[in-house]
């Protein structure tokens, strides 16, 4: 049986030492009383470890029940959600005007990670609701906010986004769902949506649907998409679920993973709905929800990587297999534990470097989201948003690619036992795989990075990363202890700058050239970001290792930083060679049957 323990000490390291969030208590709203941070994370850890984690394997094995359009969650899930709501977790970062607590996103990200580690299928329900809350909060009318937000904040109602159609996956311009005006400000929605996570379930009394559809006069393509809001039960004037809307679940998908989360085919047969935002501007409004959702999806990969790492490490310390090549390390035992073998340590350190480095990136990005929303200076808000825009495809792609890679490594550490359901590792592999696909495939994230983020505002977004890194390297270049971290980072930054120039130049000619290397470029960028994170982590650890009572904690940080710099970051050399090969490397003859 797998186990899980929330990494509270590492959350503290990132929040208090790497980000030093105390410095923002006077400049960012909601940061004035950070004494609540540790108690909140402690309570979240107890809930995830004690309530959600025990349901993870049983929910995966039992799966969902579909009966005449109704979806029933596995045993214990509804009760767990009721406990989640009763504790007030859905209101954590929401606007106090609608019943929320107004707390920072940077404190919510650790909670999201813990939920993802303990029970990803459960986490999709409140996660999607929060996305719906964000979209309505920004784009909805006052009446729409009054109708839907208080119920989403309490968690009594859930929210989903209905985008994809059978013929329209990533290319939303191909959607066929229609919105016909009724003449009273409402519309009738007709069409079918697929892959709708949590589109139907029995944990909440009502489900709010945000739907992309086209008006009768809609222009062709993505410029003709509008956004609408409705609910499974039309809200009454008293804020209660009223008349059943013409929304039905036609089927649920049978998936590789996240078996306890319903993925639905939703049919809209003249469902009554209302326009959100301006006509034909729905994609812009929907991306408000999707951009933050992409960061949350990245956290899912991190969360699964963390729980897989914990179980792989515990197994490697206990499982006896062969002797160390240098001689018996434990002569009193019939064999040495797995952890003495170099290849096992390689896998474990790869897992640790990913989890701890990615945790910094996720919380750093969340802090910038808070800065964009909460700072009083428009210039500071703009710089923060520039950083978030640049890092969103990186967080989504690197953390989900990594989540899949790391859970596979975790299974590998356990060998044959990792392939057996009882040990839980194979479920993490299955659950992690979807995160590379939904909320925009990682290949689409790469195209977004090179096609939108690099050239935006004459490269302005890039400055939010390159300038701090250049400053760090300059400030630390004459510190002897930092040389082993600075030199690899300096080389990697040079490769990334050369790659960025190549992308920009080639984009002026044949756009297929940069597109052909977009995934390699995205990974290179991600590795350099983590290189900077580990270099800064090493600097903090070097200062603390000599004076702190937690010497082992900081020595482990230094060891992991060295591993990253020597064994992972050098991949940038090969990535540069691969991405600059250009589109010619992808030529292939016609294939006939």
Domain ranges for the chain: 8-139, 157-281, 453-583
**pLDDT for residue 591:** 61
Query: Does residue 38 have a pLDDT over 60?
Result: yes
Name which of 384-398, 416-430, 451-465, 579-593 the model is least confident about.
Answer: 579-593
Cα 517 to Cα 434: distance, rounded to the nearest angstrom? 23
Q: Which residue, 39, 64, 168, 171, is CA-closest to 125?
A: 64
Query: Does residue 291 have a pLDDT over 80?
Result: no
More confident residue, 489 or 285: 489
Mean of the pLDDT values across residues 250-254? 98
Q: Which residue, 295, 306, 356, is CA-closest to 108?
A: 295
Mean of the pLDDT values across residues 384-412? 98
Mean of the pLDDT values across residues 516-532? 98
Q: 28 pairs with which residues across the strands?
A: 375
**pLDDT for residue 239:** 93
Q: 273 pairs with which residues across the strands?
A: 187
**pLDDT for residue 592:** 59
**pLDDT for residue 68:** 93
Cα 370 to Cα 368: distance, rounded to the nearest angstrom? 5
Is it true that 8-139 and 157-281 share their CATH fold? no
422 has catalytic annotation = no
Cβ density class 166-189: b for 16+ within 10 Å, e for less: eebeeebeebebbbeeeeeebbbb
Mean predicted lDDT score pLDDT of the chain: 96
Tell me the CATH number of domain 8-139, given options 3.30.70.1900, 1.10.540.10, 1.10.3720.10, 3.30.1360.150: 1.10.540.10
Catalytic residue among 439, 484, 550, 571: 439
**pLDDT for residue 202:** 97
**pLDDT for residue 169:** 79
Name the pairing type of β-strands 206-213 and 157-162.
parallel
Mean of the pLDDT values across residues 324-340? 95
Are 131 and 292 within 8 A, CB to CB?
yes
> Domain spanning 157-281 has what CATH number?
2.40.110.20
Query: Does residue 593 have a pLDDT over 70?
Result: no
**The two structure tokens encoding residue 78:** 């509804």
Percent of the chain with pLDDT over 90: 93
DSSP code at position 592: -
Cα 56 to Cα 121: distance, rounded to the nearest angstrom? 8
Query: Does residue 507 have a pLDDT over 90?
Result: no
**The two structure tokens encoding residue 390:** 């640049």
Name which of 126-130, 300-304, 319-323, 506-510 the model is least confident about.
Answer: 506-510
Residue 588: which pLDDT band, with cuts at 50, 70 and 90? confident
**pLDDT for residue 69:** 96
**The two structure tokens encoding residue 240:** 């209660």
Cα 494 to Cα 486: distance, rounded to the nearest angstrom? 12
């Amino acid at each position: 049986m797998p186990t899980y323990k929330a990494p509270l000490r590492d959350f503290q390291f990132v929040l208090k030492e790497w980000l030093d969030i105390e410095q923002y208590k006077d400049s960012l709203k909601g940061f004035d009383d950070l004494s609540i941070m540790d108690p909140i994370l402690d309570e979240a850890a107890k809930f995830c470890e004690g309530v959600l984690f025990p349901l993870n394997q049983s929910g995966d094995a039992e799966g969902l029940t579909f009966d005449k359009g109704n979806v029933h969650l596995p045993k214990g899930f509804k009760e767990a959600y009721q406990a989640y709501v009763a504790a007030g977790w859905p209101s954590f970062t929401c606007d106090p005007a609608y019943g929320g607590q107004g707390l920072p996103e940077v404190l919510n990200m650790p909670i999201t990670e813990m939920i993802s580690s303990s029970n990803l299928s459960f986490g999709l329900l409140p996660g999607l609701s929060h996305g719906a809350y964000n979209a309505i909060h920004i784009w909805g009318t006052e009446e729409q906010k009054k109708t839907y937000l208080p119920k989403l904040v309490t968690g009594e109602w859930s929210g989903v986004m209905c985008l994809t159609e059978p013929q329209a996956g990533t290319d939303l311009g191909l959607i066929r769902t229609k919105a016909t005006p009724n003449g009273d400000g409402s519309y009738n929605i007709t069409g079918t949506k697929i892959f709708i996570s949590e589109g139907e379930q029995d944990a909440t009394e009502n489900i709010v649907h945000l739907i992309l559809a086209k008006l009768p006069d809609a222009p062709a393509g993505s410029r003709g998409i509008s956004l609408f809001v409705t609910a499974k039960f039309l809200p009454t004037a008293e804020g209660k679920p009223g008349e059943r809307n013409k929304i039905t679940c036609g089927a649920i998908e049978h998936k590789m993973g996240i078996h306890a989360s319903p993925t639905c085919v939703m049919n809209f047969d003249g469902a009554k709905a209302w326009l959100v935002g301006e006509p034909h501007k729905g994609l812009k409004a929907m991306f408000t929800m999707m951009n933050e959702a992409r960061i949350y999806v990245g956290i899912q990969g991190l969360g699964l990587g963390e729980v897989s790492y914990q179980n792989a490490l515990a197994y490697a310390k206990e499982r006896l297999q062969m002797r160390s090549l240098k001689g018996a390390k434990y002569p009193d035992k019939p064999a040495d534990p797995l952890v003495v073998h170099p290849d096992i340590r390689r896998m474990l350190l790869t897992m640790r470097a990913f989890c701890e480095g990615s945790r910094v990136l996720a919380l750093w990005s969340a802090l910038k989201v808070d800065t964009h929303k909460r700072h009083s200076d428009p210039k500071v808000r703009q710089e923060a948003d520039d950083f978030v825009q640049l890092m969103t495809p990186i967080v989504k792609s690197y953390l989900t690619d990594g989540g899949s890679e790391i859970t596979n490594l975790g299974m590998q550490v356990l060998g044959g036992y990792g392939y057996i359901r009882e040990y839980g590792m194979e479920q993490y592999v299955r659950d992690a795989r979807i995160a590379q696909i939904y909320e925009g495939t990682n290949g689409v994230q790469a195209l977004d990075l090179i096609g939108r983020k690099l050239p935006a505002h004459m490269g302005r977004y890039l400055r939010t990363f390159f300038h701090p890194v250049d400053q760090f390297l300059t400030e630390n270049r004459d510190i002897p202890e930092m040389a082993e971290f600075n030199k690899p980072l300096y080389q990697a930054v040079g490769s990334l700058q050369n790659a960025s120039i190549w992308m920009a130049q080639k984009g002026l000619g044949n756009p297929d050239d940069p597109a052909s290397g977009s995934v390699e470029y995205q990974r290179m960028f991600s590795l350099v970001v983590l290189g900077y994170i580990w270099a800064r982590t090493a600097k903090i650890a070097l200062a603390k290792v000599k004076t702190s009572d937690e010497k082992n904690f900081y020595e482990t940080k230094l060891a992991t930083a060295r591993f990253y710099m020597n064994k992972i970051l050098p991949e940038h050399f090969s990535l540069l060679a691969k991405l600059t090969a250009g589109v010619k490397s992808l030529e292939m003859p016609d294939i006939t049957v």
